[in-house]
Amino acid sequence: MDKKAILVVSFGTSHKETRIKTIEQIEQDIGRAYPDFRIYRAFTSRLIINILKERDGLAVMNVKEAMERMHREGIKEVIVQPTHILNGIENENMLEEVHNCVNLFRSVKIGKPLLTSLEDFHKVITNLLNELPPLQENEAVIFMGHGTVRYSNACYMALEYMFRDYGYEDIYVATVQAYPALENVIKQLRKKNYKKLILLPFMIVSGEHALNDMWGEDKDSWKTVLEKEGYGVRCSLKGLGEYKSIRNIFIEHIEATG
């Protein structure tokens, strides 16, 4: 019987607690959905791979290493499923490394990132709306995305637009490293009579960005900046990977590879 495998590719995180709740949970869900496949892990962040190795003695392969290991272990058919939010730099790098190794296998199929099709947006939005805590009077939600310099960064604006189209005027999306930034969202907040805000990570894991850039005590953290603006701020540090409904979308993307 030919050996088949699914390589789950994540950016990675150096925070064990959120890794268990998100990345490992995604991998376990995929393993339960595909019991005839071996599940492999790869991270795209070399920095995180190095931190985990030096600090924790935990060895995590990069994509090239994982592809070569699967080949050595006799895998013939591979499905590569990223846990990336969109087709940004990390996903592009993953695709390049996978394509460089396709000749090692009889079949290599690649699943899509979380936000790829219009149906993906619909599912993500409806699932998140079911998970949101009840809003208090004069309260708004801000999702923190990572952002990318690639064209796919437009996904964040489309996401907020769709929230509006679905009738949710009090949900905003900002990014850490691209547009819209927090300052752009603050301009919109000032036009309303908001008194309180909820901050939530729009990231698979609740790692460095959520813990420090969003909810840290530094003067530049979103929490600090928004409190100086006069808002009462609360947060959820739940990464998207903790929601089963979101994890299911990755499984659907694997199914879509045919």
Catalytic residue numbers read 146
User: Could you tell me which of 6, 62, 88 has the C-alpha nearest to residue 254?
Assistant: 6
Burial degree of 257 (CB within 10 A; 0-12, 13-18, 19+): middle
Strand order in the sheet with 38-43: 38-43, 3-10, 75-82, 107-110
**What secondary structure letter does DSSP report for 221?**
S
Q: At what angle do helices 23-33 and 244-256 cross, to 10 degrees?
A: 50
Quote the tokens at residue 186.
């603050």
User: How many CA atoms lie within 13 Å of 31's alpha carbon, on the beta-carbon side?
Assistant: 10
Strands (E), 44-104: 75-82
CA angle (4, 8, 53) in 5-degree steps: 115
**What secondary structure letter does DSSP report for 23?**
H
